[in-house]
Amino acid sequence: MPMDLNIGDIVQLKKVHPCGCDEFTITRTGADVKFKCNKCNRIIMLDRETAEKRIKKLLNK
């Protein structure tokens, strides 16, 4: 069953971004999930299956 991800949710990922931050805001959902780093504002895009595996926890809804 797919994880309930919504635009604006803040998540903690298992892998740390090169800038040192592990908190990301979801900016797009669907077959792909787009994340924006909360420290450097860079964008990363992952397919949904990979994104769900890399999410450690939802920090807020």
- Per-residue pLDDT band for 8 (boundaries 50, 70, 90) equals very high
Nearest by Cα to 57 from 7, 2, 21, 9: 9
DSSP string, 20-52: S--EEEEEE-SSEEEEEETTT--EEEEEHHHHH
At position 28, the amino acid (one-letter code) is: R
Is the pLDDT assigned to residue 60 strictly greater than 90? no
pLDDT digits (tens, 9 = 90+) for 12-54: 999 999 999 999 999 999 999 999 999 999 999 999 999 999 9
